[in-house]
Structure 1
Amino acid sequence: MARTQAADYEQRREAILDKAARLFARRGFDGSSVADLADACSTSKSLIYHYYPSKEDILYAVMSSHIDQLVSDVDGVLAKGGDAAAQLDALIHAFMDHYVGAADRQKVLLNELDSLPAEQRATIVARQRKVIDATQALLVALDPALADDPAQARAKTMLLFGMINWTHTWYDPEGPIPPARIADMALKMIHAS
């Protein structure tokens, strides 16, 4: 007889991902075991495996949940329409809002991609490219000369992501500067270039 699913199945899966993101962000994927995760969750390894078939599947779920939110941000902003400046502004603000609440997931996404099996890594990379390409298209719309220089367009795009992607290493959400101000500062710097 098949095991029935608990009413709080999805909440438990998400709680495991939260603990896994924290653990992987601090110790790295290779430096963390399923036993470590079970300890962090105050549960057993077998219960972890009930929710996720493997440690790699947990890592993929951590990354996927984060990149899917960023893809959703892109889709939402583009669906609303408007001029490129307003869309880029909305997008960078949305990204910063999510980065602040997901610093561990952001760190894992940036540092542990090579720990995924090839097929899962390809899926995450494709989603990352969607986010990057959409942002680059907005930058090109703001500066049409970039259309004639794809290398410079990509460099400018990656510089923008370089400014915001690594805020998890220094930004204090309890500090005096709110995430929206960080987004404004990044946008101002990218417009000045």
Structure 2
Amino acid sequence: MARTQAADYEERKEAILAHASSLFAERGFLGTSVMDIALACGASKSLLYHYYPSKEDVLFDVMTSHVDLLLDDVDTVLALDLPPGESLHTVLHYFMRHYVGASDRQKVLLNELENLPADKRQEIVATQRKIVDAVQTLLVAALPEHCADPVEARGRTMLLFGMINWTGNWFDPTGKLTYQQIADMAYEMVLSGTVAPTKG
């Protein structure tokens, strides 16, 4: 007879991901053992393996849970049917909320992708591309006169992600700046980049 799932199965899985995210962010994937994760969860290795067959599976779910959330952000904003500029502004706010609220998972995504098996890595990269492509579409629609060239449009899009992706490494949630202000700054910097520098 197949083993039935406990009523709190999903909650326990999420607790494992939360503890693993913290450990991976602090020590790195290679510096964290399955036993480390089990101890952080107050569980045994055998119980952990009931939820995840391998440490790589834990890493994959840490990343998947994060990129899926960001893709949901994009879908939610697009469903609002706002003007392109307002949509871009709004999605940056959504992203920053999750970059700050899930900073461990964001760090893991940025630093540990190469530790996934190739097939799982490709799944994460495919979702990331969907997110980037959607943001690029909004950027082109918001600034058509500056993004007509697809190469320049991609460059502007990647510069935007370059600004916001690493926020969790330095942002202090208890400081004077809020994540909303950071999102506003990123949006303003994208717009200011459309002004050509004055030649001396």
Could you tell me the TM-score, scaled by structure 1's length? 0.97
Alignment of 1:1-150 (within 5 A): 1-150=1-150
Cα distance in 1 for partners of 2:103, 2:32 equals 18
* 66-75 or 145-154, which deviates more: 145-154
Tell me the amino acid that sits aligned with residue 38 of structure 2: A
Cα distance in 1 for partners of 2:6, 2:146 equals 53
Which residue of structure 1 lines up, in the alignment, with residue 176 of structure 2? 176
Could you tell me the TM-score, scaled by structure 2's length? 0.94
Cα distance in 1 for partners of 2:79, 2:168 equals 28
1:159 maps onto 2:159 in alignment: yes
Cα distance in 2 for partners of 1:16, 1:178 equals 29
Which residue of structure 1 lines up, in the alignment, with residue 190 of structure 2? 190
Deviations 1:15-36 (A, max 9, x none): 0000000011111111111011
Deviations 1:85-111 (A, max 9, x none): 110011000000111110000000011
State the 1:148 CA deviation: 3.3
Cα distance in 1 for partners of 2:7, 2:89 equals 40
Question: What runs of 5+ residues in structure 1 fail to find an aligned partner?
Answer: none
Cα distance in 1 for partners of 2:150, 2:2 equals 54
Q: Between Structure 1 and Structure 2, which shows a larger proportion of helix residues?
A: 1
Deviations 1:22-76 (A, max 9, x none): 0111111111110111111111111110011111110000000000000000111
State the 1:2 CA deviation: 2.1
Tell me the amino acid that sits aligned with residue 32 of structure 1: T
Percent identity over the alignment is 61
Q: Aligned to 2:165, what secondary structure does the other structure show?
A: helix
Tell me the amino acid that sits aligned with residue 119 of structure 2: E
Cα distance in 1 for partners of 2:150, 2:47 equals 49
State the 1:155 CA deviation: 1.3
Deviations 1:161-186 (A, max 9, x none): 11111011100111111111110011
Q: How large is the RMSD of aligned CA atoms in angstroms?
A: 1.0
Cα distance in 2 for partners of 1:111, 1:146 equals 32
Cα distance in 1 for partners of 2:124, 2:146 equals 27
Q: Aligned to 2:58, what secondary structure does the other structure show?
A: helix
Cα distance in 2 for partners of 1:178, 1:41 equals 31
State the 1:146 CA deviation: 4.3
> Runs in 1 of length 4+ with deviation above 2 angstroms?
145-148
Cα distance in 1 for partners of 2:158, 2:40 equals 35
Provide the aligned length of Structure 1 versus Structure 2.
193
Question: What runs of 5+ residues in structure 2 fail to find an aligned partner?
Answer: 194-200
